[in-house]
Amino acid sequence: MPFIPHTEQDIRDMLSAIGVAEIASLFDEIPASLRSNLPPSVPPQVTEMEITRLLHERARRDAQPLCFIGAGAYDHHIPAAVWELTTRGEFYSAYTPYQAEASQGTLQLAYEYQTMMVGLTGMDVSNASLYDGGSALAEAVLMAVRRNRRSSVRRVLMPTTVHPAYRRVTETIVRNQAIELETVGYESRAGTLNLAALERWSGEDVTALVIQQPNFFGCLEDVNSLVDWAHTQGALVIALVNPIALAVLTPPGQWGQNGADIACGEGQPLGIPLSSGGPYFGFMVCKNAHVRQMPGRIVGKTVDLEGRAGYTLTLQPREQHIRRSKATSNICTNQGLMVTAATLYMSLLGAGGLARVAAACHANTQALLAAVSNIEGVRPAFIGPSFHEAVLQLDAPARSALERMAGAGILGGYDLSQDYPELGHAILVCATEKRTDEDIAAYARAMQGALRVARRA
């Protein structure tokens, strides 16, 4: 029997200890009208050898083209040690560390992770993870609304330069709490938040402003002015950031006069495989003053009976298992194993290595822009500083151009025409540190070919 250790003798002994004749008797409290069998659509059991063959076949069908898509998930190199260690049974098969004494591995690691995130973001405290970047932004919005008591409305400014999927997730999660998500547009030349559109909110009651840096287009927002503007309004600032970019960009804790209040984002770039979109992890950090409104697990340092240092979950009265309907969030299981991978990744790279990764991504994306710059019908959509990603405008429908490039073995970018029709035939491109000069040359060739065909069509 797969994974069940019982011998015939065990079964007899156990039934007799219980005092029933057969296993079926143990189900006698289920009303007869509800007892059922599984329908034939549940397939019969296969062996490990058979399922291995099947999954290898399916994996082979999923051989991946060269990836130049970013848009929130990035194809970075993951050091071999990261997943070798992450999948050790002691990390992999442990539960949430409720019994602290029996979970010092997971707990100390989480404390180290929190320290690393504080270091990277320049904020004061970190939680031990949320589900992913999109849901972390939703939680940040809820947190800001709970926290900003000076604001008597529930109004959050959500620029359209924030990742469209993040905006949708936030909408789904906060919809039933009477929160207004107000959009703010972008300047068509710079690709950054439109300050004139923001001015319309000057003097109004605003609960929080969300700023993504680099923004969804890869453009750099003027975060200093934005933060100071928001704080003058009495609004809290939610920074949405890419952790790799923070190795070289100003961390949200240092934006403007007083820094952002809450920062969050997608942890995937830190050693998590692309894996069709998950599991990843969301991170969240904040200023000390807001910690009691933070959702999720938080690990703290303490001492044991003998005065030795140890680690434990703390501030649990924020959480659903203690506060039930008054909790800061319903989150329980989060993405612990992904945090294990991220902690290993950050340890292996250090600040210097992370800066090299970030700079290499940026340099490669710039090289990509240069390589396509003299292709007829391709031009960068925005002027001004950008990082790591960029928008290209094409003179033919993005969808068919990308489709043709995919045929040539290249994922040429993310099609923006659905979410940003005003940009015309536009795509978002990204070349991580894994892309070589040859890859970039191949990209340019594929793009040229695709556009030639598309124009003819």
Partner 1 sequence: MLIFEHSREGRRAYAQAPRQLAGLADIPESYRRRSPALLPEVSELQVVRHYTRLSQKNFSIDTQAYPLGSCTMKYNPRACNTLAMLPEFLARHPYAPDRFGQGVLACLWELQEILTAVTGMKGVSLAPMAGAQGELAGVAMIRAYHEARGAHERTEIIVPDAAHGTNPATAVMCGYKVREIATATDGDVDMAALKQALGPQTAGIMLTNPSTVGVFERRIEEIARLVHEAGGLLYYDGANLNAILGKARPGDMGFDVIHLNLHKTFSTPHGGGGPGAGALGAGERLHAFMPIPIVAREGEHYRWHTETERPQSIGRLSTFGGNVGVLLRAYVYTRLLGREGMYRVAEFATLNANYLMARLRAAGFQIAYPQRRASHEFIVSLKREAKEIGATAMDFAKRLLDYGFHAPTTYFPLLVAEALLIEPTETETKEELDGFVAAMCRIRDEARADLAFVKGAPYKLPVRRLDEVRAARELNLSWKPSV
Ligand X SMILES: Cc1ncc(COP(=O)(O)O)c(C=O)c1O
CB of 290 to ligand X, least distance (A): 23
Choose among ligand X, partner 1, none what residue 15 binds, the Cβ cut-off being 5 to 8 Å by kind.
Answer: partner 1
CB of 9 to ligand X, least distance (A): 33
- Whether 353 contacts 337, CB under 8 Å: no
Question: Residues in contact with partner 1, total (CB under 8 A)?
Answer: 199
- Whether 313 contacts 106, CB under 8 Å: no
The residue within the footprint of partner 1, chosen from 8, 21, 58, 196 (CB under 8 A), is: 58
Rounded Cα–Cα distance for residues 225 and 240 (Å): 16
Is residue 412 helix, strand or coil? coil
Stretch 312-331 residues interacting with partner 1 (CB under 8 A): 312, 314-316, 319-327, 329-331
C-beta of 102 vs 332, nearer to ligand X = 332
C-beta of 243 vs 336, nearer to ligand X = 336
Stretch 363-422 residues interacting with partner 1 (CB under 8 A): 363, 366, 385, 387, 403, 406, 411, 414
Rounded Cα–Cα distance for residues 100 and 308 (Å): 14
CB of 333 to ligand X, least distance (A): 3
CB of 332 to ligand X, least distance (A): 3
The residue within the footprint of partner 1, chosen from 305, 374, 456, 457 (CB under 8 A), is: 305
The residue within the footprint of partner 1, chosen from 206, 240, 357, 451 (CB under 8 A), is: 357
- Whether 238 contacts 348, CB under 8 Å: no
Q: Within 13 Å, how many C-alpha atoms sit on residue 221's CB side?
A: 30
Q: Is 399 exposed, middle or buried (0-12, 13-18, 19+ CB in 10 A)?
A: middle
Which tokens belong to 322?
């203690």
- Whether 430 contacts 389, CB under 8 Å: yes
C-beta of 353 vs 449, nearer to partner 1 = 353
The residue within the footprint of partner 1, chosen from 8, 43, 152, 374 (CB under 8 A), is: 43
- Whether 244 contacts 270, CB under 8 Å: yes
Which positions touch ligand X (CB under 6 A)? 332-333
Q: What angle in degrees, to the nearest 10, is found between the helix axes of 336-372 and 437-456?
A: 60
Is residue 120 helix, strand or coil? helix
CB of 98 to ligand X, least distance (A): 10
C-beta of 132 vs 261, nearer to ligand X = 132
Provide the b/e sequence for 200-224 (b: ≥16 CB within 10 Å). Answer: ebeeeebbbbbbbbbbbbbbbbbbe
C-beta of 96 vs 393, nearer to ligand X = 96
Stretch 179-218 residues interacting with partner 1 (CB under 8 A): none
Which tokens belong to 87?
């999948």
Contact region for partner 1 (CB under 8 A) — 10-18, 184-192, 199-207, 443-451?
Answer: 10-18
The residue within the footprint of partner 1, chosen from 67, 239, 263, 401 (CB under 8 A), is: 67
Alpha-carbon dihedral angle through residues 112, 115, 121, 125, given to the nearest 10 degrees: 120
C-beta of 13 vs 422, nearer to partner 1 = 13
The set of residues, in sequence order, having a beta carbon less than 8 Å from that of 30 and lying 6+ positions away, is none
By CB under 8 A, tell whether 291 contacts partner 1: yes
CB of 336 to ligand X, least distance (A): 11
Pairing of strands 282-286, 262-266: antiparallel
Contact region for partner 1 (CB under 8 A) — 67-75, 152-160, 198-206, 437-445?
Answer: 67-75
Pairing of strands 180-184, 208-213: unpaired
- Whether 203 contacts 151, CB under 8 Å: no
By CB under 8 A, tell whether 289 contacts partner 1: no
By CB under 8 A, tell whether 111 contacts partner 1: yes
The residue within the footprint of partner 1, chosen from 232, 302, 373, 436 (CB under 8 A), is: 302
By CB under 8 A, tell whether 355 contacts partner 1: yes
Rounded Cα–Cα distance for residues 182 and 209 (Å): 10
CB of 61 to partner 1, least distance (A): 4
Stretch 248-287 residues interacting with partner 1 (CB under 8 A): 248-251, 254, 266, 273-281
CB of 393 to partner 1, least distance (A): 19
CB of 165 to partner 1, least distance (A): 5
